[in-house]
Structure formats: C-alpha cells, structure tokens
Amino acid sequence: MYDASVTSETPDHPGSLLQRCAGGDRLALRRLYETQGDRLYGIALRITRQQALASDAVHDAFINVWRRAGQFDPARGSAEAWLVSIVRNRALDLARRNAREVTGVEMPEQEDDAEDALSRLSRSREAEALRRCLGELDEEKRKLVILAFMDGITHTELAARLRLPLGTVKSSIRRGLQGLRRCLQP
C-alpha cells in the first residue's frame, strides 16, 4: 500500500499520482496517462509490433492501474517500473493471443521472474562489454542513450525534459550509438 508520509515526491510524480488514483481521483489517472502513456505505448509497440495491439495493451493496463493502484508498494520498486510491468505483461498476453489466432501457433511463455533474468544479464559478458563501452562515452551521450533505449523515453520527451533542441538530442544519441558500435565491434 502506498504511503505519502514516506515520500517527498511532487504532485505529478507517478508515485503521487498512483496514490491519488488509489483514493479514487480520476484526474490523477488522466494525468498519469498524459505523463506516462506515450512511453508505455512505445514499450507495448515494441512487444506487439502492431499499433492496435499496443493501444489495447496500454488501455487495458490503465484499467488495471485504476483498479490496482492501492497495491503499488514503493518499497518494492519505482512507480514507473510498476507501470511498465503492467503494460509489458498485458502486451505479451495480447501478442501471444494474437499469434495463436493468426497462425494457430502458440508463442512460448517468457519467464516472468525479472530479477532472475536481470541477474543472468548482469553476469553476461555482453552486458559487461556494454557497461564498459557506455563508460567510454561522454556523460551527455551516455545519459541520452540510456534514457532513450533502456528507459524507453522518446527523443521528443528527452528534448523537453532536458531543455535541449530535438536535433541535438537526436544527433547526440546517434553519435553515442556509433561510439557503442565501434567499441563493441570485435
């Protein structure tokens, strides 16, 4: 259960908005959608690869958020991570169902224990090489690449958040990716 006494978040922070949703505040749900919806749609689109399915996944996820907002526990993770997990799970469900309906072939179930998967990833050589190469990038490029590709933030959102021209954000990310590619090549 979310407790406001343990946080100093702003009123528009996802954790604060979830708390307000748990109290029945529909405007908080709207604000949560306005601030998080595009990023969550991008995540759903990468999973489903279909705009209609991605939209459905986000829509269904926000219904679940409304119903389950009181179950969010900041001690177990960030509000953003909680939202991403709900969208991710719904998008995977829809993609599996769509694959069965279209091809008659069931997609394999993915392991849902993110902590174990993350532990395996962090131990892998590829992850270590990526960390090393990210460390070789200058701070601005590293920050932009991480925010764009690991946190799923769009270039437009990054430009607005960081108060940088969109072209600067795009070219910095491109140069950062080029640097990673050069570093990771055998």
The CATH number given to whatever domain includes residue 99 is 1.10.1740.10
148 in a structural domain: yes
pLDDT grade, residue 135 (50/70/90)?
confident
9 — pLDDT class (breaks 50, 70, 90): low
Whether 110 is in a domain gets the answer no
Q: Could you give the number of structural domains in the chain? A: 2
Whole-model pTM: value is 0.52
Residue 119 and residue 95 share a domain: no
Tell me what pLDDT residue 184 has: 80
User: Which residues form the domain of 150?
Assistant: 115-184
> What's the CA gap between 57 and 76, in Å, rounded?
23
User: Which token pair is 36?
Assistant: 């998080």
Q: Is residue 108 part of a domain?
A: no
Band (pLDDT 50/70/90 cuts) for residue 1 is very low
Name residues whose C-beta falls within 8 Å of residue 46's C-beta, 6 or more positions apart in sequence: 152
94-98, 116-120, 135-139, 140-144: range with lowest mean pLDDT: 116-120
Q: What is the pLDDT of residues 10-42, one digit of tens each?
A: 778 999 999 999 999 999 999 999 999 999 999
Q: What is the CATH number of the domain that holds 156?
A: 1.10.10.10
